[in-house]
Amino acid sequence: MALMSETLPFTIMRTDELLDSARDLTDRKEGARAVLGLAGPPGAGKSTLARALVEGLRRRYGPLAAAYVPLDGFHLSNAQLERLGLTSRKGSPPTFDVHGYVALLRRLVVEGDHDIYVPDFDRTLDEPVAARHVVRPGAELVVTEGNYLACELPGWSEARGVMDEVWYVDADPEERRRRLVERQVAGGRTPEEAREWVRTNDMPNAEIVEASKGAPWVKRAFHWSGHD
């Protein structure tokens, strides 16, 4: 992966522009499977963008153009968080099985002749679930997303080493906060509980992520304009 030496300014990117860039990444791999990583703080729209890219590429180029691999499938279960004393820090770097995530990414770039099943996180259950997604043989691009993909932290640099490019996705802090509170309310917390969770957990996690936005391995940093 090429390194960039300067901090990248934020721009507003449209979906069609990002689809073109993602397809360019596939074309440069000349038949090998490419991996695009979307980093950024909680509530920035990473998962929504990742799904939009996968859906858009499939519409343009066929069902094997792209596949979705969310980091959130590698959340530790609530039982493991309780064992480790990390329940109140859910979503922070040590609450993910980063080594399992790296192992899956490595499989994805070397095993292309069979289905590879991918876990996800179920917000209703508040638990990871196995095999919600599948990467089919011949899938050309894996779009993966997660908060810490650009961070210089144990395990995350190994994950980044499997990626061909890393993009940093952001949004206005107040907009991120609003989305995060809505997410927690939808998950069953009261508005007061949701705001407290965001203040004490999501926003500190965001500070960790924000320190990585100018990292030299971030190919581009932008605010996504949404579905357009």
Using the Cα atoms of residue 188, residue 192, residue 195 and residue 201 in order, give the sign of their dihedral. Answer: negative
Domains of the chain: 11-224 (3.40.50.300)
CB atoms within 10 A of CB 15: 17
> Cα(74)–Cα(119) distance, rounded to whole angstroms?
7
> Cα(47)–Cα(52) distance, rounded to whole angstroms?
8
Q: Please check whether residue 156 is in contact with residue 51, taking contact to mean a CB–CB distance below 8 angstroms.
A: no
SS (H, E, C) the chain: CCCCCCCCCCEEECHHHHHHHHHHHHHHCCCCCEEEEEECCCCCCHHHHHHHHHHHHHHHHCCCCCEEEEHHHHECCHHHHHHHCCHHHCCCHHHECHHHHHHHHHHHHHCCCCCEEEEEEECCCCEEEEEEEEECCCCCEEEEECCCCCCCCCCHHHHHCCCCEEEEEECCHHHHHHHHHHHHHHCCCCHHHHHHHHHHHHHHHHHHHHCCCCCCCEEEEEEECCCC
What pLDDT score was predicted for residue 227?
64
What pLDDT score was predicted for residue 175?
94
pLDDT string in tens for the chain (228-residue length): 333 334 455 799 999 999 999 999 999 999 899 999 999 999 999 999 999 999 999 999 999 999 999 999 999 999 999 999 999 999 999 999 999 999 999 999 999 999 999 999 999 999 999 999 999 999 999 999 999 999 999 999 999 999 999 999 999 999 999 999 999 999 999 999 999 999 999 999 999 999 999 999 999 999 998 865
| Sheet strands side by side (includes 34-39) | 11-13, 218-224, 165-170, 34-39, 141-145, 67-70
pTM (predicted TM-score) = 0.94
What pLDDT score was predicted for residue 9?
57
Q: Which two tokens stand for residue 168?
A: 């940093």
Q: Which two tokens stand for residue 159?
A: 């994950």
Q: Which two tokens stand for residue 75?
A: 């959340």
Please name every residue paired with 116 in a beta bridge, in sequence order, or none if there are none: 135
What pLDDT score was predicted for residue 37?
98
What pLDDT score was predicted for residue 98?
98
